[in-house]
Amino acid sequence: MTERPAIDWGWIGENLDLIGERLGEHVWLTVLAVVIGLAIAFPVAVQAYRHPRLYGPVTGVAGVIYTIPSLALFALLLPFTGLSTLTAEIGLVGYTLLILIRNIVTGLRGVPEDARDAARGMGYSDRQLLWKVDVPLALPAVMAGLRIATVSTIGLVTVTALIGKGGVGFLFLAGFRNLYPRATAIVLGLVLSMGLAIAADGLLLGAQRVLMPWTRRAART
Amino acid sequence: MISLRGVSKRFPGAAVPAVRDFTLEIREGELVALVGPSGSGKTTILRMINRLIEPTSGNIEVAGSDILRQDPVKLRRGIGYVIQSIGLMPHRTVAQNIATVPELAGWEGDRIAGRVRELAALFRLDEELLDRYPAELSGGQRQRVGVARALAVDPPVMLMDEPFAAVDPIVRARLQDEFHDIQRRLRKTIVFVTHAIDEAIKMADRIAILNVGAVVEHYAPPEEILRAPANDFVERFVGPERGLKRLALVRVSDIQVEPGPVVSPDDPVEEARRAMEKFGFDWVSVIEDGELLGWVGEEGLRGKTTVGEATARRFSAYVTANDSLRQALDSIVTSRTNVAVVAEHGQRYLGILTLERISREIVA
């Protein structure tokens, strides 16, 4: 009797299409969640920054959403939105909000007051002040938030396997159910999920460096 | 050029107004310093002129038009603004910072680039600095960029709030001198806020000394404030050494220097002795065709027949016509002979200044 190898490379080779499809789904669910999360968090954060009294309630709500266990949330949503991408995204987007709002507000609050004062004194309108001074200068903190949100979303996407999505998380579930070679499926899912997180983080870090040359140059002197 | 009439500002929740019924006229091309202790409302006044703060009541006109009826954003683009902390944009290069207002005004790229180079030259900023970020500059360079940026669209009016306060005294003095020179050429109408009376004396055409609540205690040229302070508050604020401070405002060229004992190399030694006796000195200046060769003393003349036979020794210190009387005074009290020799480039002899001559200037 031959010992079964821990990793069944043959199986992986035969199922590359399936794995690629799941990886694509993983990326898509993550990008969608982070982009929608940012689209919601940004205007909310700008308001919370302009009206400091809003900050407490806003982060409170986002914080409560953040504490809901993901399994429970998807189970709760099932009767309403079914086994759909919508169900997955409601959860995934919800979990990005606290991180993104907090980081954007922190970034905006860190914009040097003298730069804002000078900008207003030189004739920047409120809109120009936001887009040409506040946002670029808040970018390091925003990008930091974006990186955390992206990495944690990539992990969380695997949970949506329970509602028929899950990206590479599908491999965990199938492995547990012995539909695929168990060890191979689980290890592969783990490696792909972690690899994706590391790659996304590196990509965003690279983008941050390109977008913000002044932070690099200043650190050098 | 700028006129404030009955301007008041009471901040919400404040018991007393920061500025109460403030009136001041600023003429075109003059630099007016607002000086006063903290709480005198000087910065508030400045910020009302470009509507970063809205007055509670009163009337402010710039170039004959009521600023309260203008769009504040457009108003500000036409007024240069420099603050103590400079407020350069950390994410924009030096060139981009200087280009800020031209960009807002919609200038074309070539015109902006040309203007940036022009200002860099005016403020002695190396071309290589233009591509750096503010964090890569020294304090003095940042300050220069801040002022250059405020001048970018050549606004007729500038507001400056302690523009040189953030740098060390040596750099500050140099920046003040440089800006003073630039202002003498550009003749902007400038409102300059400072808490340092010495800076105001050095920079301003007129000084408004403000008390708490922006009460104008004295509004006059520096020389006049030093000579005849309007009241005890002004006198105390101007501080001690008023006479010395006034001397700093007068240049050697502004007063008549004395000829002093002078001989030419061809003169006989007796002539030199007569000149010394006449002035009560133990030395004479040796001049040939208006050029200062140096000085000879009694000892050097011994056994000689003409002055030219003696070696003329160079003066170790002299003042130029452009120096202030304060510098001349320093030269007098530190010289062995208690006289300041006035010469141009150490060559062309103009005369001498004595302690007596300078003290006559203080008393006058």
Tell me whether residues A122 and B100 touch, CB distance under 8 A. Answer: yes
Q: Are strands B283-288 and B79-82 parallel, antiparallel or unpaired?
A: unpaired
Interface test with A, best of B51, B82, B91, B143 (most A CBs within 10 A): B91
**How far, in Å, CA of A191 to CA of A30, rounded?**
17
pLDDT at A217: 67
* pLDDT block averages, 10 residues each, chain B of length 364: 95 92 96 93 95 95 93 94 92 95 93 95 92 92 94 94 90 91 93 94 95 94 92 91 85 85 88 87 86 85 84 82 87 82 80 86 74
Query: Which residues of A fall below an 8 Å CB-CB distance to B?
Result: 112, 114-125, 128, 133, 136-137, 212-214, 217-218, 220-221
Q: What is the arithmetic mean of pLDDT over A103-122?
A: 95
Side-chain half-sphere exposure of B95, counting CA atoms within 13 A = 17
**How far, in Å, CA of B86 to CA of B82, rounded?**
6
Tell me whether residues A123 and B89 touch, CB distance under 8 A. Answer: no
pLDDT at A3: 57
Residue with the two structure tokens 């910072």 = B97
Nearest to B318 by CA among B293, B282, B297, B298: B293
Q: How confident is the model at residue A221 (pLDDT cuts 50, 70, 90)?
A: very low
Tell me whether residues A114 and B85 touch, CB distance under 8 A. Answer: yes
Chain B residues with CB under 8 Å of A114 CB are: 83, 85-87
**How far, in Å, CA of B168 to CA of B190, rounded?**
23
Looking at CA atoms only, how far is residue A66 from chain B in angstroms? 33
pLDDT at A100: 96
By C-alpha distance, the chain B residue nearest A215 is B91
Looking at CA atoms only, how far is residue B91 from chain A in angstroms? 5
Chain B residues with CB under 8 Å of A121 CB are: 50, 52, 76, 81, 83, 87, 159
Nearest to A172 by CA among A159, A184, A189, A160: A189
Judged against a pLDDT cut of 70, whether residue A1 lies above it is answered with no
Judged against a pLDDT cut of 90, whether residue A179 lies above it is answered with no
List pLDDT tens digits, range A17-43. 888 999 999 999 999 999 999 999 999
Tell me whether residues B135 and A218 touch, CB distance under 8 A. Answer: yes
